[in-house]
Amino acid sequence: MADNFNFELVSPERLLLSEQVIDVVIPATEGEMTVMAHHAPTMTTIKPGVVKVHSASGKKQDYVVFGGFADILPTGCTLLAESAVPVEDMSRDELERRINAAKAELEDAEHHEHKSRLEHFIMELSHLRGSIPQD
């Protein structure tokens, strides 16, 4: 049986989750990453995606995150998200609003690097559509 570890999901608005978990799948910028107890110390940036939490109680919870970073230690993981909500609280309308806001910002972007980051962000948000329940 896998060991448990402490996982915290924090957004600027609030602490969304702090509990003992078996594993967490995070959308790291280099690809999905499964974190378990005794993981090697790592720090990674997070791209927009779904965090999948498997609690020690057996409950499974999913959260939509919109960037941030994760600090992983052998004893726990803290994910500091730019914005995060339980997947069941994210509507497709809200996701479309975020995509449209990023597209509007892209139209006004002047620097190539900024445009490139926005295009990539829009692509990642568009990919999230499949993870959001139908309204």
pTM as predicted:
0.87
Q: Which helix (H) or strand (E) covers residue 72, if one does? A: strand 68-73
Task: Name the band, by pLDDT with cuts 50, 70 and 90, for residue 11.
Answer: very high
Contacts of 89 (CB under 8 A, 6+ apart): none
Q: What is the CATH code for 5-87?
A: 2.60.15.10
Segments making up each domain of the chain, as ranges: 5-87, 91-131
3 state SS of 94: helix
Q: For 93-115, what is each residue's pLDDT tens digit?
A: 999 999 999 999 888 888 889 88
| 71 close to 78: Cβ distance less than 8 angstroms | yes
Interval 18-33 mean pLDDT: 95
What pLDDT score was predicted for residue 1? Answer: 57
Q: For 43-84, what is each residue's pLDDT tens digit?
A: 999 999 999 999 999 999 999 999 999 999 999 999 999 999
CB atoms near residue 7 (< 10 Å): 26
